[in-house]
Amino acid sequence: MVDDLSLILPEDKKEAERVFNSLAVKNQLDIVLRARDKERLHYLFLSEHPERLIQELPELEVFLTVKEAGEKDCLDLISLTTPEQFQYLLDLDLWKRDQLDPEKVLHWMEILLESGEKKASQFIESADIEFIALLLKKFLHVTTMEGEHLEGMDRIPLFTLDQYHFIHFRGKRTREIFEPFLQILCRVDRGSYQRLMDSLVMEFESELEETGYRLRNSRLADYGFPDFEEALEIYRFVNPDSFAGGEGFSPVMSRDEAGKEGSVFYLAFRNEGLFFSSALSKIEDACEQGRLKQEITAVCNKAIVAEAIDLSNIAAMERAVKKVYHFLNLGLQYLSKEDEARSLEILRSLPMQKLFQYGVSTTLLLRRKAESILQEPWFSNDQENLVFLDPPHLEKFEGILRKKPALYRSGVYEDFSNLQDLREADDFLEFVSAISHFLEKELNLSPAYLKEMDLSGCYPGDWREITFSTIFLTSTANQILKGAFRFEAIGQARVKDLLDRVFERDAQGKGVIKMEIKNGLKNWLDSIEGDEAKRQHLLAFQDFCLDLFEVEYGKIPPGEEVDPRFVKGLLIRK
């Protein structure tokens, strides 16, 4: 495969055409497939025989080219597609779940006519008669001389091509598109035209749509898009800790089939999983390469169906494909323990769907751990009690609890994509468990107690606004002011005294917490927690709370009255 198109094709158009056409068709196709959007069109039509190249393109690549470059700019390409390629375009773009999108139908019928009568005739001759009937039924009302609805013919002349079937078009644009299509249809096969008109008189639209949807799904199944129930299988839990290796399997593909390329579009995103991509690049056997690429394509197709993605939404398809690589990467890292030799053994012996399931299942194990923490005494298996977690801890925990666990980072939810993500999330869950146990043990607090507190005249005045940091900082403030680490509201008049005791001023006059306060807290936490991992979580929580306190109170000038409405971190009573 050519690595850099610019190295082989000159800038001069005529010279580029000469060089391009001197290449073997396979090399031309390699260049075309490596390009995207309108650049791909450019390379296709450098060829002296673009039809041959276009008809060699995988159906999905034709679809992506048309959607990226725009249908109107792809009329020449569309006119040269095979019947199968064109039907694939319609199957992916015309449907919203199990129903045709009327606007999309009109749009594509217009595109079909603009592609020329030859293309329209080809479509008529190759498409299922039931599918054409469904397209027409959406927009035409057909009656016959034997019908009962011709009273208005004198006032509204109906359209007919055989003086027997009379057609009412539902809208001006509908007539502009379907009248010339019907004329072509009648010229191509008058007998089929009349049988089609008879079916439009007799058939119910709902029955035609059900048949059309079934046929469409059958065609897409031939391209590797399974039904919804089958697609969901990729998210089935398979315990990754039960993997012992040696799960050999027999590929269902022949060597010829395995040698074929998978989807170029799907394979373009493999760097979304760097460890997986690196291992994949070290597989040298062409048969194994082909098998892996085909299986990756199959998993991507299943993910797209399982996520109920509109197949005309390329951005959503890209997100689904990236998710596949994230979980393949995560699964391979987890099973191989990031050992390169072991990862190659796994790729050679394990089906890609199973590897994907293992990757997904590592996050489901994480969710199980979150659920077990939710059942601990503090949270009491009540998700309402998660509100005591500070942002962004609340969002992180809720992300892990999702049906499909997600990683909350920088204000957005992302896929878990590597082992480091998994370790960080697991460490976070240990952090939450350690803090909730600490607050319960040292302060004898519980959500039930906090919900029943009298907060009249307090800021915050609602228990839902009290977080772990509020509890810790308020208790620490009472330790400094009163010598007792306990959670009770601080009088507003004592806040200035607290700030004087806690803060020293930096060069800009901002309050920063005195080192003796930090060290005192650290020494106390060290003394009450013997488990090193839990102690580190408590110290991290201390730093989180003190940073919050500096942000909220450090900007207040010395001696200035503190308005509790505009700061957080302490429970203050006016």
Bridge partners of residue 143, in order along the sequence: 166
Residue showing tokens 């169906």 = 305
pLDDT tens-digit readout, 306-321:
998 888 788 999 999 9
Q: Say how far apart CA 34 and CA 30 lie, in whole Å.
A: 6
Give which of 573, 428, 411, 410 is closest to 495, Cα–Cα. Answer: 573
Q: Say how far apart CA 97 and CA 78 lie, in whole Å.
A: 24
Q: What percent of the chain has pLDDT over 70?
A: 93
Q: What is the pTM of this model?
A: 0.84
Q: Say how far apart CA 179 and CA 157 lie, in whole Å.
A: 14
Per DSSP, the residues of 183-224 read: HHHHHH-HHHHHHHHHHHHHS-HHHHHHHHHHHHHHHHHHTT
Bridge partners of residue 408, in order along the sequence: 413
Q: Say how far apart CA 504 and CA 506 lie, in whole Å.
A: 7
Per DSSP, the residues of 38-94 read: HHHHHHHTTSS-HHHHHHHS-HHHHHHHHHHH-GGGGHHHHHTS-HHHHHHHHHHHS
Burial 299-335 (b: 16+ CB within 10 A, else e): bbbbbbbbeebebbeeeebbbbbbbbbbbbbbbbbbb
Question: Are the CB atoms for 369 and 426 separated by under 8 Å?
Answer: yes
User: What pLDDT shows up at residue 109?
Assistant: 97
User: What pLDDT shows up at residue 106?
Assistant: 96
3-class state of residue 466 by DSSP: coil
pLDDT tens-digit readout, 215-265:
999 999 998 899 889 999 999 999 999 997 655 554 444 333 433 456 789
* pLDDT tens series, the chain, 574 aa: 344 444 468 888 899 999 999 999 999 999 999 998 899 999 999 999 999 999 999 999 999 999 999 999 999 999 999 999 999 999 999 998 889 999 999 999 999 999 999 999 999 999 999 999 999 999 999 998 765 554 544 455 689 999 899 999 998 999 999 999 999 999 999 999 999 999 999 999 999 999 999 999 999 999 889 988 999 999 999 999 999 765 555 444 433 343 345 678 999 999 999 999 999 999 999 999 999 999 999 999 999 999 988 887 889 999 999 999 999 999 999 999 999 999 999 999 999 999 999 999 999 999 999 999 999 999 999 999 999 999 999 999 999 999 999 999 999 999 999 999 999 999 999 999 999 999 999 999 999 999 999 999 999 999 999 999 999 999 999 999 999 999 999 999 999 999 999 999 999 999 999 999 999 999 999 999 999 999 999 999 999 999 999 999 999 998 888 999 999 999 999 8
Question: Residue 355 corresponds to which amino acid?
Answer: L
Q: Say how far apart CA 378 and CA 533 lie, in whole Å.
A: 20
Helical segments of 307-351, H only: 314-336, 340-349
Give which of 234, 401, 400 is closest to 320, Cα–Cα. Answer: 234
User: What pLDDT shows up at residue 65?
Assistant: 94
Q: Say how far apart CA 243 and CA 358 lie, in whole Å.
A: 9
Question: Are the CB atoms for 161 and 186 separated by under 8 Å?
Answer: yes
User: What pLDDT shows up at residue 97?
Assistant: 81
Question: Are the CB atoms for 357 and 238 separated by under 8 Å?
Answer: yes
Bridge partners of residue 315, in order along the sequence: none
User: What pLDDT shows up at residue 6?
Assistant: 45
User: What pLDDT shows up at residue 260?
Assistant: 44
User: What pLDDT shows up at residue 310?
Assistant: 83
Mean pLDDT taken over the chain: 91
